[in-house]
Amino acid sequence: MKKPSPSRAVAARLIGQWLRSGDFPDRLMEPVTADRAFVMEVVYGVARWRRTLEWILSRCAPRPPAGPVLPHLLAGVYQIFLMDRAADYATVNETVGAAKTAGGPRAAGFVNAVLRQALRNQDAIRQDLANQKVGVRESHPDSLVKRWTEQFGAEKALELCRWDNTRPQVTVHPHCEKSGLTSFLASLKKTGVEATVHPFDPDRFVCLPGGSRITDLPGFAEGLFSVQDPSTMKAVDLLDPQPGEFILDACAAPGGKTTLIAERMEGRGELVALDVMEDRLDPLRENIGRMRLTVVRVARGDAASEADVGALRGNRRFDRILLDVPCTNTGVFRRRPDARWRFSPASLVEVARIQRALLDNAGRFLKPGGTLVYSTCSLEPEENEHRVRDWTALHPRFALTKEIRLFPPETRTDGIYAAALELTRDSSNRHQ
């Protein structure tokens, strides 16, 4: 038997951690350095295709796999059926070797039998899979497929599921204050990186080829660009920040929109970047420092807490507030494939409570005539249009002036919702 692959063992170990704890795959991946691209492909691939892989295993295993064998089987079946490399018996042997190291000879024997069965019968399995319902063959919960079918129609729901299962492209935004798009593309080309403009926002976003190392690109250390999906710009467009203003980014981490707001402030005014989780503020501080954004003040605090937000403002009210609220993430399943398995009616109820509390508190601290932008990376109307209309009905001095929705298969971006709410100038506010 070929010597077990350390990368396959690492991937299986992380998959096992994810199955047990439900932790986020990106956090599990943080300490991985060796053969990182392969490990990430397998871990994220299993998270994305979990339901399909479990269906395949049900066709090949004599009993439901559990314990130490399940992560190895999921990883092995993913490599056989869904990776962009030809699967062969050597791949099976390496996976079996990794299973033996982790679980002993009995575990290895079970993994060997199941994977060889899958390899021998993969043509028949693929044909049978093509006849299964959408949730099985596109690896989504039935509840989501049903919701999306009712909301968008069957054809668009299928397109969305298929979009979620594609690998996300890396896109960056050259900061115009320091580097124009044309010169940025030219600098990439000089280093052999053939980048292209993003079709949804070709004047502001660049798509990088697969395998590009962000930290090695020209201009990274100098803060000439930020890694962003074009969808992130839409909430900032609605916010329309101006130089010299006092602005709150209320749920700022990891800081993508913070950098976009600061760019438009042109070094004048103050932008408070607030987030409740200290560990999420670390990458935000790092990016702000790298990009030399002097208008940004980073603060830890709860945007739903009147005391926390009130302590940030002195005797001033904010000219503009961006409220990029926690949500069910249904617009970004392509980037966060594990999030689809956390979606439930109960999760909608819980995020609705949080969203209401955040809106209630943010509304207290906006200057009359100011703009509050509410945004999510969700496709669910309960978190988007319904949330905004329900809230403005209770707060009639806030007027909905504009809203935008992005449907990923059409825009080739993440799915988002954003709404601009203006506080009328005759409003009274007890927070002076």
Supply the CATH number for residue 88's domain: 1.10.940.10
295 and 149 housed in the same domain: no
Which positions ≥6 away from 172 have C-beta within 8 Å? 205, 206, 208, 214, 217, 225, 226, 227, 228
17 and 42 housed in the same domain: yes
pLDDT of res. 180: 78
pLDDT of res. 36: 86
pLDDT > 70? residue 394: yes
pLDDT of res. 410: 97
State the pLDDT confidence band at 377, using cuts at 50, 70 and 90: very high
Which DSSP letter does residue 166 get? S
**Please, what sign has the CA dihedral across residues 383, 388, 391, 393?**
negative
Beta bridge partners of 373: 322, 420
278 and 385 housed in the same domain: yes
CA 218 to centroid of chain Cα atoms: 25
148 and 192 housed in the same domain: no
379 and 279 housed in the same domain: yes
Number of folded domains in the chain? Answer: 4
What percent of the chain is modeled with pLDDT above 90? 74
State the pLDDT confidence band at 353, using cuts at 50, 70 and 90: very high
pLDDT of res. 211: 76
Average pLDDT along the chain: 92
pLDDT of res. 307: 95
Mean pLDDT value of segment 394-422: 97
State the pLDDT confidence band at 303, using cuts at 50, 70 and 90: very high
pLDDT > 80? residue 209: yes
Nearest to 368 by CA among 304, 325, 404, 316: 316
Distance CA 210, CA 207 (A): 9
Nearest to 30 by CA among 283, 240, 357, 288: 283
pLDDT of res. 32: 86
Distance CA 69, CA 46 (A): 14
pLDDT of res. 2: 47
219 and 236 housed in the same domain: no
286 and 409 housed in the same domain: yes
Mean pLDDT value of segment 176-203: 87
Catalytic residues: 377
272 and 341 housed in the same domain: yes
Nearest to 418 by CA among 201, 233, 235: 235
Question: What is the tally of helices (H) and strands (E) in the chain?
Answer: 18, 11
pTM metric for this prediction: 0.91
State the pLDDT confidence band at 332, using cuts at 50, 70 and 90: very high
pLDDT of res. 177: 60
Residue 104 lies in a domain: yes
244 and 392 housed in the same domain: yes
Strands 270-275 and 246-249 come out as parallel
Length of the chain in residues, anyone? Answer: 432
Q: Which of 46-55, 206-215, 286-295 has the lowest mean pLDDT?
A: 206-215
Segments forming the whole domain that contains residue 121: 6-132
pLDDT of res. 427: 47
> What is the CATH classification number for the domain harbouring 182?
3.30.70.1170
pLDDT > 90? residue 426: no
pLDDT of res. 84: 66
> What is the CATH classification number for the domain harbouring 273?
3.40.50.150
pLDDT of res. 432: 36
pLDDT of res. 92: 86
pLDDT > 50? residue 417: yes
pLDDT > 50? residue 429: no
Distance CA 417, CA 95 (A): 42
List, for residues 238-251, the tens digit of each pLDDT value.
Answer: 999 999 999 999 99
Which positions ≥6 away from 95 have C-beta within 8 Å? 5, 8, 12, 72, 75, 76, 79, 111, 115
Selected residue with higher pLDDT from 132 and 96: 132
Position 357: which residue type? Answer: A
Half-sphere exposure of 181 (CA within 13 A, CB side): 14
266 and 244 housed in the same domain: yes
Beta bridge partners of 272: 248, 297
SS3 of residue 275 by DSSP: strand
Distance CA 359, CA 257 (A): 18
373 and 391 housed in the same domain: yes
Residue 160 sits at the vertex; the CA angle it makes with 158 and 161, to the nearest 5 degrees, is: 65
What percent of the chain is modeled with pLDDT above 70? 95
List, for residues 42-95, the tens digit of each pLDDT value.
Answer: 999 999 999 999 999 999 998 888 788 999 999 999 999 998 665 677 778 888
80 and 194 housed in the same domain: no
Distance CA 42, CA 68 (A): 17
Residue 411 lies in a domain: yes
Mean pLDDT value of segment 368-396: 97
Residue 428 lies in a domain: no
State the pLDDT confidence band at 430, using cuts at 50, 70 and 90: very low
State the pLDDT confidence band at 27, using cuts at 50, 70 and 90: confident
Q: What is the dihedral of CA 172, 283, 408, 420, to 10 degrees?
A: -100
SS3 of residue 269 by DSSP: coil
pLDDT of res. 398: 97
Name the phi and psi angles at 309, rounded to 5.
-70, -40
Alpha helices in 292-394 (DSSP H): 306-313, 345-364, 385-394
